[in-house]
Structure 1
Amino acid sequence: MSMAAAPSPKRTRRPSPGLAATIASEWRKFWALASMRLIIAITMGLTVGVTLLIFLFGGGGELAAEQQGEKFGVIFIGGTLGITAFTALAATFVAVEYRSGMISCTLTATPTRWRVLAAKLLIISGLALVVGSATSFLNFAISQSVLGAMGEPTLHLVEDDLLRPVVLFLPLGMLVQSLLTAAVAVGLRNAPAAVVLVFSLNTIPVWIAGYVGDWFANTVPRRVPGATVESIAGVSTPGSGGYLDLVPAVLTLLTWLAAALVAAFSWFSRRDA
C-alpha cells in the first residue's frame, strides 16, 4: 500500500507594512543617524545662533541701523544659510541608504516602494515646518528683545505687517527646498550633488540675469523656487526683479514641486536598489 505524499504547506506572503508602520520605521532610522541631529543643530545655529553672536560681539548698533532700512535683513539674518543647511538633511536622509547598501534591506522589508519614499518625504516635510517655524519665531523674538533692551526701535508682528513673512518664509523655504533636494537625491543617489544642483537652480539664474538680456531677467529669476517662496511669504518687494503676484507664485511653486515629486517616485519605483 503506497502512502500519499503529505501536502506541502502553502507559503503565505507577508503583507507589506502600511504607510503608518513605514513612517514609524523611517522615523527610527532618522534619529539613529547622528548626522541628522547634527544638521538640525547646524540649521538652528546658522539662524538663531548667528543673530546671538552678532549681538554678543557688539553688532547691535549696526543691526539696528540695518533694520531701519530693511526690516527683513535682521529678522531673517542667516535664514538662507539655515534653509540650505536643512536641504543637506533632506538629501542625506534619502541618499544615505544607497551609500551604505541598506536600501536593499529597506525594500525587502517594505516591497511597496512608494510607501518608503512617501514616509521619508513626510518626515522631511514635518521637520521642515517645525524647525522652520521655531527658528523664525526665535530669531524674531531674540533680535527684537535685544534691540529693545538696547533702547533701539523694534518691530511688531501685527503693526509692521510681519506676521505673514515670519510665519511663512523660513518654514515654507525649508519645506520647498528640502523636498526639491530630496527628489533630486533620489535620482542622483548622492547628497552633496543634490544640494549643489538645487542651490545652483536657485542662484545661477539670479546671478546671470544682468548679462543675458531683458527677457531672461524679467522672466526666469522670479520663477525659480526660492523667489516664488519669497513672493508667497511677502518678502519680495512688488515691482522688483524677483517678485511675482501671489497666485502666479503659488502656481509656479506647485509646478516645481509636482514635477520633482513625480520624477522622484518614478525613479524610485523603477530603478534597481
Structure 2
Amino acid sequence: MSSTRVLKSEWTKIRSVSSTVWTLGLAVVVTIALGLLISILSKNDYDKLSTEDKLTFDPTFISFAGMSLGQLAMIVFGVLVVSNEYSTGMIRTSLAAVPQRGKFLFSKVAVATALALVVGMATAFLAFFVGQSVLGTHRAHIGDPGVLRAVIGGGLYMTLIAMFSMGVAAMLRSPMLSLGILMPFFFLISNILGNVSATKKIGRFLPDQAGSKIMQVKTPFDDDTPYGPWGGLAIMVAWVVVALIGGYALLKKRDA
C-alpha cells in the first residue's frame, strides 16, 4: 500500500473514533477554562504579592495554567490513537494491509501528530489571549520579548505530550496499562520528584518539567535550572524520540 493511502487510512481511523475527537475538544476547553480562572485569581491577588514575586510575575505562563489538565486529554488522545486497534483486535487486519510495520506506525504517528499540532497551537494562542484579556494592566502582549516563543512553545508542548504517549502506547499496547502508567507518571511521580529537594535535580529532566520551560517568559529568582527554554524543549523531544523508537522496536519484534 502506498504511503499516501496509508496516511489517508490512518486519518479515517482517527476521525471515525469519536473518543479521540472528544479528547482533543476536551483538551481545548479545560486548558482555556482553567487558564482563565487562574488568570482572574492572579489579577485579584497581584497587590498582595511581595516585591520579588511582582518582579517575576509571568502573565504568559499564568495563562497556561490549564495545561496541567489539558495535557491529560492529550495523553488520552495519544494512547487511544495507537492502542485502540489492539483493544478491538483490528491490529491484525491493519498489519495484514500494511505489513511494513515502520510505515504503519509512523504513518499513524504522523497523522495524529499533525492533528495534535493544529489543536495544540490553537489552544495555546486562545489560552494566551483569553488569559491576558482578564489580567488588565498586568497582561503581556504577543509582541513582548519571549512571549511569542512561549505561546508557540505551548502548542509544541501539547503536541509532544501526545507523541510521547503514542510511543508508550506502542510499547505497552494496552490502553489501560498505558494510561495506568502515564497518568501517575505525569500527575504524581513527576511532581514529587520535581518538588522534593533530594530529587529535584532529577525531576527537572523529566519530559513535562523540561518541556514546560518553553512556556516561561520570566524565570523565578530561585530557579537554578541548568537549561533554558529551548534546551528544555530539546530534552522533551529526546524523550519522545526514545519512546517512539522503543514503540517501533517492540512492534517490529512482537506478533500482533
Give the TM-score normalised by structure 2: 0.83
CA distance 1:211–1:35, change in 2 (3 Å): closer
The answer for unaligned runs of 5 or more in structure 1 is 1-16
Map 1:72-87 → 2, pairs under 5 A:
72-87=60-75
CA distance 1:35–1:201, change in 2 (3 Å): same
Q: Structure 2 CA distance, aligned partners of 1:153 and 1:246?
A: 22
- How far does residue 70 in structure 1 lie from its aligned partner after superposition? 3.7
Q: Find 1:189's aligned residue among 170, 173, 192.
A: 173
- How far does residue 269 in structure 1 lie from its aligned partner after superposition? 1.4
Q: Find 1:180's aligned residue among 151, 157, 164.
A: 164
State whether residues 164 and 234 of structure 1, in contact with CA within 8 Å, keep that contact through their aligned partners in structure 2: no
SS at match of 1:272: coil
24-33 or 184-193, which moves further after superposition?
184-193
State whether residues 74 and 162 of structure 2, in contact with CA within 8 Å, keep that contact through their aligned partners in structure 1: yes
Q: Find 2:43's aligned residue among 47, 51, 64.
A: 64
CA distance 1:140–1:97, change in 2 (3 Å): same
Q: Structure 1 or 2: larger helix share?
A: 2
2:11 paired residue number:
27
Q: Find 1:244's aligned residue among 203, 223, 227.
A: 227
1:125 paired residue number:
113
- How far does residue 208 in structure 1 lie from its aligned partner after superposition? 3.8
Map 1:157-172 → 2, pairs under 5 A:
157-159=142-144, 161-169=146-154, 171-172=155-156
Q: Structure 2 CA distance, aligned partners of 1:233 and 1:243?
A: 16
State whether residues 87 and 178 of structure 1, in contact with CA within 8 Å, keep that contact through their aligned partners in structure 2: yes
Q: Which has the higher contact order (CA 8 A, sep 6+)?
A: 2
1:265 paired residue number:
248
Equivalenced residues, count:
245
CA distance 1:134–1:251, change in 2 (3 Å): closer
1:9 paired residue number:
none
Q: Find 1:111's aligned residue among 94, 99, 116.
A: 99
- How far does residue 29 in structure 1 lie from its aligned partner after superposition? 1.0
The answer for unaligned runs of 5 or more in structure 2 is 47-53
- How far does residue 242 in structure 1 lie from its aligned partner after superposition? 5.1
Q: Structure 2 CA distance, aligned partners of 1:232 and 1:77?
A: 14
Q: Structure 2 CA distance, aligned partners of 1:182 and 1:235?
A: 29
Q: CA RMSD in A?
A: 2.7
Q: Find 1:47's aligned residue among 31, 34, 38.
A: 31
Give the TM-score normalised by structure 1: 0.79
AA paired with 1:186? Answer: A
Q: Structure 2 CA distance, aligned partners of 1:222 and 1:19?
A: 38
